[in-house]
Amino acid sequence: MELSKRRFKEDFKRMLTELYSMDAAQSELPEQYVALGNLVRSYASKNWSETKRLYLKRKRKQVYYFSMEFLLGRMLKSNLLNLGILETVRSGLKDLGIDLEALQQVEQDPGLGNGGLGRLAACFIDSMATCRIPGNGNGIRFKYGLFKQKFVNGYQVELPENWLQNGNVWEVRRMNLAVTIQFYGNVWLEEKGEGYLVPHYEHTKKVLAVPYDTPVIGCRNQTVNTLRLWSAEMPPQEEISDYRSYIQERSQIEQISEVLYPDDSNYEGRLLRLKQEYFFVSAGIQSIVRYYRKLRLPMTRLPEKAAIHINDTHPALCVPELMRILLDVERMDWDHAWNVTVNVLSYTNHTILSEALESWPVGMIRTLLPRIYQIICEIDRRFVIKMSTLFDRDMVERTRVLESGHVRMAHLAIIGSHSVNGVAKLHTAILKEKVLHDFYLMYPSRFSNKTNGISQRRWLMLANEPLRQMIGEKIGVDWETTPTDLKMLEAFRNDRRTLDELAKIKRLNKQRFADYVKETMDLTISPDAIFDVQIKRLHAYKRQLLNLLHILSLYFKLKKEPLADIHPRVFIFGAKAAPSYTYAKEIIKLINSVADLMNHDTSIKDRLKIVFVENYGVSLAERIIPAADVSEQISLASKEASGTSNMKLMLNGAITLATLDGANVEIRDRVGSENIVTFGLTDREVYQYYQNGSYQSRDFYESDPVLRRVLDALTDGTITGAEAEGRNIFDSLVTYNDEYFVLRDFKDYLLAQKKIDRLYRDPHKWQRMALINIANAGVFSSDDTVLQYAGDIWDVSAKTGRLL
């Protein structure tokens, strides 16, 4: 948009006066932030309204991206960037004595996600708006998000993440668009003429789903899409006269939209998760159908105007819920309703881990969602009848929705969708060949790959402004909207001046992070050390433990040989563990205990440090990623679907240290094997171990003296304060045969780390590798990814728009 500095300052001062009856000199950062946020939203509001009007007038087909998570990050600078007014506002605020960076710190990170799944969803809706794809996000407005992580004596403690305590300037409450969700009760079917069955509900519990809409602003175009998040409230007609009963009922209802991923280690927690999943699915689909009716088209044409995407299995209830509305409300017959449902829905699989392929007890669904359960049973019955004529009985039993008293959500999503995609070439191949092989034989045309992507706007243009400026000076600014143009940077791969500039920018970012660590943790780290970064959800398959074992091996080498030729290292961790995931929390405690041991050992002279940041999230990632030298992507091959931290770190010039897992394979193929460091088992070797059962982790423990010294330290008192955790972890690796082959890959990992050490000692070679990684990161843009979804899966056109 066109905005002069003079006009901005006038608008900002007026907004401060309207909201707080004060001028800039009287106001403080919280008031200034709220005023600026409201002003920016008002700047976007005209295009937001116009976008919605044009979608309706032109009857554009729209995408509805259903996701349990949307890990947005702070939105102030992102919105300013996308409106094209970032520098104008920065300069205008400076004239008023206000620092934009300080205002940005006032904003709370929205507590709407946990890891890669939520960050992918956030990048996708940003890219849809930028590519002018008519798209909407649909999720839950979690009051407390996941949790606020604190370390107390090295242990993870979960506190409420009350990110909404001061409100959210970006959202608009749409009470007039609220819908009602029904839980529990009894449902009986009355036969009507022509084979129709009319459901009758008795004794249900109703929940009001109230939408909060947030504008999703396209980058320097006129498109503003919508993220709709639902909040659970007490329906007015359900208010109870008895005050105590009312409070109790309201509390139970509001609990639905309070916490992301409630503890599922007990029945009540699992029941709440299921409520959450149906809540936002039903609210979203009701909203879509209500909008579609405005088009005055027959319901059989719904696939021409709506594409609903199921992001992982959490929204898999889209299948029976859309069927419910088509059957019960729109009075369609089963075959027509099923045809519409399958052609509207598509599904992305994000995992091969069995525990992440959700299943729910039949009794739980039957009690909580009686009509949905009836429809699921009918879907399963018809699937078995149809497939039994085409495939053998064992295959049909393996693929049906209902099995051993459980409803298998991935099966429901696959059967009820016209498209199933993986998120990296390797991941998709494993789905076809192993995990979902039976389904691939049944529906080969449904399967495709769509490798994940990231938004270069947030992860380079905003997170690393010095690098953005340098790239612009070298190749111009077209790469900002056409990320593959970063490839032109390769022309400077042997230009020493450019490589020196790149090194200076990296050191500046490292110093900034070191200053942050000193301020927040009172720990001194040197920007001259290698910053070795592993930032991702804490899970055994991601193998933070392998990283820690290597750190211990270096520590013991320095203790034995104080003059050992080891380049100083700072190992940086950021990770949360699920509250009920005891083993992951034990690993966190062990890492913190090793950090306490090493960081206070003066004999190693600061050559090794561990930084484990608390409450890792998007804003912390924006500090860490530009400072990273090494990107740890060391999951067991075949277990990581794609990964996106690998792409963000690559984009900022970190060198990837990786197994050939997920998108790491494609990164290697892009940058060349000489510009990445790989190690470890391949996916085929992992599956060979599974097939022949020959892996014996104790053999590695007994035959490798370095490994044995490291593992013995877990139990011999070397690491104080984590004796119980050390014993449990030792047993998991040695006694219980090391589920994720940590010991098998240990020696190869140490060799790869030695290679990193050697490479880093040649500054120009290292910076050349960094530059080649940056230059090849453009192909992993989420803009490209959503355009592939739009063309291959959603059948939605993207319109090229003029710049504002």
Q: Tell me which residues are annotated as active site.
A: 350, 536-537, 542, 644, 648
Burial class of residue 18, CB neighbours in 10 A (0-12, 13-18, 19+): exposed
H/E stretch holding 209 reads strand 205-217
Look up residue 789 and give its amino acid: Y
Residues 212, 172 contacting (CB under 8 angstroms): yes
Please name the amino acid found at residue 240.
I
- Are residues 152 and 185 in contact, defined by beta-carbon separation less than 8 angstroms? no
Q: Is 266 exposed, middle or buried (0-12, 13-18, 19+ CB in 10 A)?
A: exposed
DSSP 312: S
Q: What is the token pair recorded at 682?
A: 């391949």
**Alpha-carbon gap, residue 402 to 35, rounded angstroms:** 53
Strand partners, 274: none
Q: What is the sign of the dihedral through the CA atoms of 638, 455, 766 and 549?
A: negative
Q: With beta carbons less than 8 A apart as the criterion, state whether 295 and 57 touch.
A: no
Report the 10 Å Cβ neighbour count for 134.
26
d(C-alpha 97, C-alpha 95), whole Å = 5
Which conformational region is residue 184 in: left (phi greater than 0), alpha (psi within -120 to 50 degrees), or beta?
A: left
Contacts of 297 (CB under 8 A, 6+ apart): 59, 304, 305
Contact between 181 and 151 under an 8 Å Cβ cutoff? The reply is no
Strands (E) across 474-567 are located at 530-535
Q: Please tell me the total number of residues recorded for the chain in this structure.
A: 804
DSSP state of 349: -
Which of 217-255 are b and which e, b meaning 16 or more Cβ less than 10 Å from the residue's Cβ? bbbbbbbbbbbbbbbbbbeeebeeeeeeeeeebbeebee
